[in-house]
Amino acid sequence: MTILTHDTLTLPTPLGGTLVNRVRAVQPGELAGLPTLELGDRAAADLEMIATGAYSPLTGFLGEKDYRSVVDRMRLEDGTPWSIPITLMVTPEEARTARGTVALTHGGQPVGLIEVQEQFTPDKTHEAREVYRTDDAAHPGVAALNAAGSVYLAGPVTLFDVPRGHFPAHHRTPAEVRSVIEARGWRSTVAFQTRNPIHRAHEYLQKVALELVDGLLLHPLVGTTKGDDVPADVRVKAYEVLLEKYYPRERTLLSVYPAAMRYAGPREAILHALSRRNYGATHFIVGRDHAGVGSYYGTYDAQEIFQNFTAAELGIQILKFEHTFYCKSCSQLVSPRTCPHDATHHLVLSGTRVRELLRAGEALPAEFTRPEVAEVLREGYAR
């Protein structure tokens, strides 16, 4: 991996060596007579992530050999690190007409193409146990896997246009994020993944990291999440008000990450890190139970899984942080490494408890989140 130096401004090499770009405008008459396939929200997000290079080196949905290698080894068949199978799942009825070039639609509108090169039937139970470490149907990732079609289509894709509708001011492709980093002259950039509103513990981690690097890429996931997660528009507004008052503008960049959430815990932490390398980040924060849900994963499993790869393979430096919280006796944000007090001194609010307070219209403690953020969340839940 090439790291920025004080003398040269060279961004980290994308995974696979080249940033994939499979975005182009649809040509007149190009779709005439083609079979069509309607994509759900998750598949449409994957299409964008592939075509814009966020999932470099992928150029399409995985074929069977790559799929099985990813499930069993966390690598593509050629050995490239890759932890989550990016597949296009369809019903047997849809598969029967999905031959050759197929037009992809989302919401009834044409959004791209796939050149179908393979069709195969997976072992979903095996996939669930390996990727999600469970086949429990209550796990949201397993539930989504089970609900999808039983046939996988594989082949290179084309995206007609980047869908920036919900967050046009913040929706940037990897190439565009890289351009901002270059324009600002950042020699090192730390990326922070979140699907939740930023609270004080997040702010603490980000600012500690900013002591080490030139810039912060605040990169909230805005694709499909669980129904009880805070809506993306509310979260983005909370990020905006926080950055306006409490972060250095020249050293922070808010840009949305359009992927769908899979809740795959450790495996998803790897995917999040590798894709942020493609966006131009040199560092990535992995904290407590990254991309986890419920009690399916150990507190620091998402940190330990990176031991399966060398630093050169990852091409991005992982910053591992312990659980952070507000200590009433220390009067500040701390971690088990820095706080001598037991849990009775700590203010720790679970996501469930935060949602309960918001639904009841109650105030969030100032030690937990900034008042401006709390007000955005309160308004979001009141609407």
Q: Is 146 a catalytic residue?
A: no
Asked if 60 and 88 touch (Cβ cutoff 8 Å), the reply is no
**Rounded Cα–Cα distance for residues 51 and 57 (Å):** 10
Alpha helices in 40-154 (DSSP H): 41-51, 64-73, 92-97, 124-131, 140-147
Burial class (CB in 10 A: 0-12, 13-18, 19+), 168: exposed
- Which candidate, 342, 344, 323, places its Cα nearest to that of 334? 323
- Per DSSP, the residues of 121-185 read ---HHHHHHHHTS---TTSHHHHHHHHS-SEEEEEEEEESS---SS-TTT---HHHHHHHHHHHT
Q: Is 196 a catalytic residue?
A: yes
**Rounded Cα–Cα distance for residues 68 and 88 (Å):** 14
What six digits make up the tokens of 317? 């430096």
Burial class (CB in 10 A: 0-12, 13-18, 19+), 138: exposed
Catalytically annotated residue among 172, 187, 195, 200: 195
What six digits make up the tokens of 141? 């990732």
Phi, psi of 66 (to 5 degrees): -65, -40
Report, in this order, helix, strand and coil percent for the chain, each rounded to 5: 35, 20, 45
Phi, psi of 317 (to 5 degrees): -85, 130
Catalytically annotated residue among 73, 129, 184, 196: 196
The single-letter code of the amino acid at 365 is P
What six digits make up the tokens of 341? 């007090």
Q: Which residues are catalytic?
A: 195-196
